[in-house]
Amino acid sequence: MTLRPRRVDYPRKAPEHREEYAAEVSPLPVRSNPSTGSAVRSADREGEAYKTVGYVGLVLGIASLFIWPVILGPSAAVVGYYAYNKGRKTAGAWAIGLGIVATLSYFVMIPFAR
Q: Whole-number mean pLDDT of the chain?
A: 78
Residues with Cβ within 8 Å of 31's Cβ and at least 6 positions away in sequence, in order, are 39, 40, 41, 42
How do residues 89-111 score in pLDDT, each as one tens digit?
A: 899 999 999 999 999 999 998 88
Peptide bond before residue 11 is cis, with ω within 30 degrees of 0:
yes
Q: Residue 108, SS3?
A: helix
Q: Report residues of the chain scoring pLDDT below 70.
A: 1, 5-47
Peptide bond before residue 34 is cis, with ω within 30 degrees of 0:
no
Domain limits for position 103: 42-113
Residue 20 lies in a domain: no
Q: Whole-model pTM? A: 0.59
Residue 15 lies in a domain: no
Alpha carbons 19 and 29: distance in angstroms, whole number = 19
Residue 58 lies in a domain: yes
Residue 31 lies in a domain: no
Q: DSSP secondary-structure letter at 96?
A: H
Residue 88 lies in a domain: yes
